[in-house]
Amino acid sequence: MFEKSPAKYEPQFGGFCGYAASIDKLAPVEVEYFEVLHDRLILQHNKKAWDLWDKDIEGNLKKAGATWPTLSQHKAL
């Protein structure tokens, strides 16, 4: 399965924190804070980020998706 569709199993937002991406920032993650949402692996920085993400999951996902194209250009910084 993985070999046929590796991108399907990659974390969203380049493996950076989903909540941070939703507020136009990059943050590393702690792998114990994750969820699979709409067949996408979303990781979070810590419990606080998890809780903030959880307050508006769909809204935060939409915001993170909107900021990610620009953020992804800076991820090597």
Q: For every one of its 77 residues, what pLDDT tens digit does the chain have, with 9 covering 90 and above? A: 567 777 777 999 999 999 999 999 999 999 999 999 998 999 999 999 999 999 999 999 999 999 999 999 986 54
- Tally of domains in the chain: 1
Q: Looking at the domain assignment, is residue 65 inside a domain?
A: yes
Q: Looking at the domain assignment, is residue 1 inside a domain?
A: no
Q: Which domain range does residue 15 map to?
A: 9-74
Q: Looking at the domain assignment, is residue 2 inside a domain?
A: no
Q: Looking at the domain assignment, is residue 52 inside a domain?
A: yes
Q: What does the pLDDT read at residue 46?
A: 98
Angle at 29 between CA 34 and CA 48, to 5 degrees: 75
**Pairing label, strands 40-43, 34-37:** antiparallel
| Measured CA distances, 10 to 23, 65, 75 (Å) | 21, 15, 16
Q: Looking at the domain assignment, is residue 47 inside a domain?
A: yes
